[in-house]
Chain A
Amino acid sequence: MRGSHILSAGAALLLATATAQAADTIKIGLIMPYSGIFADTSTQMDGGVKLYLQQHGDTVAGKKIEIIRRDAGGVAPDVAKRLAQELVVRDKVDILAGFVLTPNAMAASDVSAQASKPLVIMNAATSIITTKSPYSVRVSMTLPQVVTPLGEWAAKQGIKNVFTMVSDYGPGIDAEQAFQKAFKAANGEVLGSVRMPVNNPDFSPYVQKAKDSNAQSVFVFIPAGTQPAAIMKAFVDRGMTPDKVKILASGELTDDSALKNLDNSAVGVITAYHYDHSHKSALNETFVKDYRAANKGENPNLLAVGGYDGMHLIYEVIKKTGGKVDGASFIAAAKGMSWESPRGTIAIDPETRDIIQTMYIRRLESVNGKLQNVEFDKAERVKDPVKAAMSK
């Protein structure tokens, strides 16, 4: 109690001085799972945020940018909502941002709507999140946006049938349904499907099932983390290498941390994603170089680019509005905004406040002895198919 007393007394003092300079400072509250099993996502996302500040300075349009970081500690909408409330009422932040996990983003959206604060979603990927607050905007992706082009592409390549394997939770089910829908619409056949528990240490039975289905291809979605390497090893152990069975997946499967655990037997895995650190563009080369320098040689992934683009959006909006960051002005300025990101050209859909971007189809190849996702096809200006279907 005493600690918080001192802190709140300090905060009150700060607040007194802050109101004097309030006009010159814009505060951004970042809510992410800095601790717990999702901690690595925050390391990446915060890395992207820090890099943007490092490259572009902490002052924009005469306003000083101040970042306040809060730990949601995993899937915890009660904590996320409380932190959002506290950031708004106690720390007087102007913008809420971050959000790796869907339930947390949804809970904080309530606060954004109630307090008219802009909410920048840098990762959480369930389609409906952006409908919860009129002041929210997303710079990451939705899973249907990623896997729908993959399903269409697969059918176009003459792949006749597929076995789908997804993690049994919201994003996994989204991915399964979107992929199957796109694949069937192009006359592909789904031979079978499994949903695997999210906390699943051993994938051998599911891989065996996929093998026994004798499908030409398998589609996989599992969250990034310890699992991608584990499931890829299970495929290789069972002789289901990409030269025999087409392995199609959302890009989490061949995330950099998974690739470090794999060898050439995984070459040929086909993934769809919006970002990979090997993407060829001048902007991306600088981004990757600087990110590595700041993060012990780690490569940036989608979360880092999400944090980076989120900050870019915030900076550009501040420039455009001259520092007005109330919910309505922020969103009005963000709608339709388009810019060059390390992942290519992206834009904010003025109707849904969701992102429009290019989906790359990549093949895992060995480049100079290292596994790399090599882009060889793409679908441009992809919108979130779920909301596109809703508005029809």
Chain B
Amino acid sequence: MSIATPTQNPQSYLAAQERWRPVEIVFWLAALLPFVLFPDYLTLASQIAITGLFALSLDLILGYAGIVSLGHAAFFGIGAYTAGVLTKYGWGEPITGLLISAAVAALAGYLSSLVIARFRHLALIMITLGLGLLLHEIANSAHWLTGGSDGLQGMQVWPLLGMFKFDLYGYTAYTYSLIVLLIVFVMARRLIHSPFGLALRGIRENWTRMPAIGANRQAHIRKIYTIAAAMAGVAGALLAQTVGTVSLEAISFGRSADVLVMLVLGGAGRLYGGIVGAMIFMIARDQFSGIAPQYWYFWIGLLLIAVVMLLPNGVLGGLSALINRWRSRS
């Protein structure tokens, strides 16, 4: 493993960063385990992959560009409704549906980035929250399009590649979600380790200095916001296609808040933070609510508190700090 030294030039620094580490390969191989070990948890695994993808998209703007958003579900919801409406009106092919949803969400992301890029701090958080809530209300009143609070009905999703139907066990759903997650992840990983990714981190670390060294701060933010929105749209579309319906919950404040909590739990600013956070949160929730359907909030609350106290900067952040401390001691 290489650690950047001051003498290294930026190209070789980025190249070193971009090299796949063994632990990552193990991680992705482990993602195949549910097929063998927990074949009756595949639907959950698929929803974790989808939520992980959503959290990854939030990580791009929050962890790497420092934009805290409480309205990220807007793009998730736009993607979900786009995919849903497409299948309802006759186009049930999943993969093109995914791409179209990504494009629509990207467009929405670009438009809102024109506003977002001008603000910071609390104003930024609250404007993302406000835009998200407005969109939620619009989806509620556009009953003719979205089905309002009853949810979108009448979706007909065609079999994947014309061959694989979405089955009760979730084989198709998990395979599909996992492959999409991996593809998007690889793209996000390249993006982060590109000069553009480095510039984003520069903006996060020093908002005022970046323009001084010639980086177009607002343009960078617009760009990453649009990309993140497209990714969130993909996640939403995946959920719509694998579940076969969309409800207002897909676009709600609750979903924005949950994904933020998951990302922070896993560790913001780390590529795997969102995925790990989604895994921990959703598995914990599934297990706790199976044991105590009414009171699982208590246990998940304790989990969050414990993580903050014991592992600051999320599970991954805390763990890597522990490992570093252990290494420097030995």
Q: Which of A5, A73, A110, A169 contacts B148 (CB 8 A)?
A: A169
Chain B residue with Cβ nearest A34: B293
Enumerate chain A residues within 8 angstroms of B143, measured Cβ to Cβ. 170, 173
Instruction: State the CA gap A325–B47 with chains docked (Å).
Output: 30
User: Given that A7-B287, A8-B41, A102-B149 are known contacts, is A81 also in contact with B296, CB under 8 Å in the complex?
Assistant: no
Q: Contact at B294–A89, with CB atoms within 8 Å? A: no
Tell me if A1 and B283 are in contact (CB < 8 A): yes
Using CB atoms and an 8 Å cutoff, list the residues of chain B in contact with chain A: 37-38, 40-41, 43-44, 47, 137, 140-141, 143, 148-151, 153, 168-170, 239, 243-250, 254, 279, 283, 286-287, 289-290, 293-297
Residues on B with C-beta less than 8 A from A111 are 168
Task: Determine whether A107 belongs to the interface, using a CB cutoff of 8 Å to chain B.
Answer: yes
Cα A107 to Cα B245 in complex, Å, equals 7
Q: Is A90 an interface residue (CB 8 A)?
A: yes
Judge whether A22 is part of the interface by a CB distance below 8 angstroms. Answer: no
| 23 sample A-B contacts, Cβ–Cβ < 8 Å, listed by A number | A3-B283, A4-B38, A8-B37, A8-B41, A34-B293, A35-B297, A39-B294, A70-B290, A70-B293, A74-B249, A75-B149, A78-B47, A78-B245, A86-B43, A89-B168, A90-B41, A102-B151, A103-B150, A103-B245, A132-B153, A173-B143, A198-B140, A198-B149
Q: Please, how many angstroms separate the alpha-carbon atoms of A290 and B184 in the complex?
A: 57
* Cβ contacts under 8 Å, B289 to chain A: 34-35, 70-71, 73
Contact partners of B37 in chain A: CB under 8 A: 5, 8
Nearest A residue (CB) for B151: A103
Distance of A90 Cα from B279 Cα, bound (Å): 20
Task: Verify if A76 is at the interface (C-beta below 8 Å from B).
Answer: yes
A384 and B51 alpha carbons, distance in the complex (Å): 39
**Would you call A184 an interface residue if the criterion is a C-beta within 8 Å of the partner chain's C-beta atoms?**
no
- Whose C-beta in chain A lies nearest to the C-beta of B290? A70
Given contacts A86-B43, A114-B168, contact A35 B293 (CB under 8 A): yes
Interface contact A110-B244, CB-CB below 8 Å: yes
Q: How many residues of A contact B (CB 8 A)?
A: 47
**B contacts with A: majority SS:** helix
Number of A-B pairs whose CB atoms are under 8 Å? 123
Interface string of A91-121 (1 = CB under 8 A from B): 0000000000011001100110011000000
A77 at the interface (CB under 8 A from B): yes
CB distance from B23 to the nearest CB of A (A): 16
- A44 touches B (CB below 8 Å): no
Chain B residues with CB below 8 A from A85, complex form: 43, 168-170
- A residues 61-88 touching B (CB-CB < 8 Å): 69-71, 73-78, 81-82, 85-86, 88
Q: How far is the CB of A55 from chain B (nearest CB, A)?
A: 23
Is the pair B290, A115 in contact by a Cβ cutoff of 8 Å? no
Chain B's nearest CB lies how many Å from the CB of A209?
A: 18
Query: Which residues on A sit within 8 Å (CB–CB) of B254?
Result: 74
A115 and B168 in contact, given A4-B283, A35-B296, A75-B248 (Cβ under 8 angstroms): yes
Q: Is the CB of A82 within 8 A of B47?
A: yes
Shortest 7 CB-CB distances between A and B: which pairs? A103-B151, A169-B149, A34-B293, A90-B40, A71-B293, A170-B150, A103-B247
The minimal Cβ–Cβ distance linking A143 to chain B, given in whole angstroms, is: 12
Q: What's the minimum C-beta distance from B102 to chain A, rounded to whole angstroms? A: 19
A76 and B247 within 8 A (CB): yes
Residues of B within 8 A of A102 (CB): 149-151
| Cβ of B252 to closest chain A Cβ, rounded Å | 8
In the complex, are the beta carbons of A69 and B43 less than 8 A apart?
no
Contact yes or no, A35 B294, CB < 8 A: yes
Residue-wise interface mask of A (241-269) relative to B, using a CB-CB cutoff of 8 A (1 in contact, 0 not): 00000000000000000000000000000
Question: In the docked arrangement, what's the CA distance between A169 and B143, Å?
Answer: 9
12 further A-B pairs in the complex, CB-CB below 8 A; given A86-B44, A170-B149: A34-B289, A75-B249, A77-B151, A77-B243, A77-B249, A78-B47, A90-B41, A106-B150, A126-B150, A170-B143, A198-B140, A198-B149
User: How far is B246's CA from A169's CA once the two chains are assembled, in angstroms?
Assistant: 15
A4 CA / B141 CA spacing, docked (Å): 41
Q: Is the CB of A81 within 8 A of B243?
A: yes
The answer to whether A168 touches B40 (Cβ under 8 A) is no
A283 close to B (CB within 8 Å) = no
Give B254's nearest chain A residue, CB to CB. Answer: A74
Whether the pair A78, B168 counts as a contact (CB closer than 8 A) is no
Bound-complex Cα distance A307 to B118 (A): 53
Q: In the docked arrangement, what's the CA distance between A3 and B44, Å?
A: 14
B contact residues around A5 at 8 Å (CB): 37-38
A328 interface residue (CB < 8 Å to B): no
By the criterion CB–CB under 8 Å, are B239 and A78 in contact? yes
Partner of A71, one of B148, B249, B296: B296
In the complex, A32 Cα to B289 Cα: how many Å? 12
- Which B residues are CB-close (under 8 A) to A82? 43-44, 47, 243
A128 interface contact, C-beta 8 A: yes
- Which of B43, B47, B248, B297 is most buried by chain A, counting CB atoms within 10 A of its CB? B43
**CB proximity to B under 8 Å, residues A22-75:** 32, 34-35, 39, 42-43, 69-71, 73-75
- Taking CB as reference atom, which chain B residue is nearest A79? B47
CA distance A75 to B41 in the complex (A): 22
Bound complex: CA A173 to CA B47 (Å)? 32
- B-contact 0/1 string along A355-373, CB 8 Å cutoff: 0000000000000000000
Q: Assess whether A81 is in contact with B294, with CB atoms less than 8 Å apart.
A: no
A75-B248, A198-B149 given as contacts; is B140 within 8 A of A169 (CB)?
Answer: yes
| Known A-B contacts A69-B293, A76-B249, A107-B244; A88 and B168 likewise in contact (beta carbons under 8 Å) | yes
Residues of A within 8 A of B148 (CB): 169-170, 173
Nearest CB of chain A from residue B286's CB, rounded to whole Å: 7
Tell me which residues across on chain A come within 8 A of B141, comparing CB atoms: 168
Give complex CA distance A71, B137 in Å: 26
Nearest CB on A from B170, distance (A): 7
- Asked if A89 and B169 sit within 8 Å, CB to CB, the answer is yes
Kindly report which residue of chain A lies nearest to residue B284, judged by CB atoms.
Answer: A3
Per the 8 Å Cβ criterion, residues 287-311 of A in contact with B are none
Among B239, B254, B286, B297, max chain A CB count under 10 A is at B286
**Residue-by-residue, is A363-391 near B (CB-CB < 8 Å gives 1, otherwise 0)?**
00000000000000000000000000000
Q: Which residues of B contact A126 (CB under 8 A)?
A: 150
How far apart are B28's CB and chain A's nearest CB, in angstroms? 15
CB distance from A97 to the nearest CB of B (A): 14
Return chain B residues, CB-CB under 8 Å to A76: 247, 249
Nearest A residue to B246 by beta-carbon distance? A77
* Alpha-carbon gap, A339 to B119, bound state (A): 64
| Contact A128 to B153, CB < 8 A, known contacts A4-B283, A173-B148 | yes
Q: Is the CB of B149 within 8 A of A81?
A: no
Q: Which residues of A contact B287 (CB under 8 A)?
A: 3-4, 7
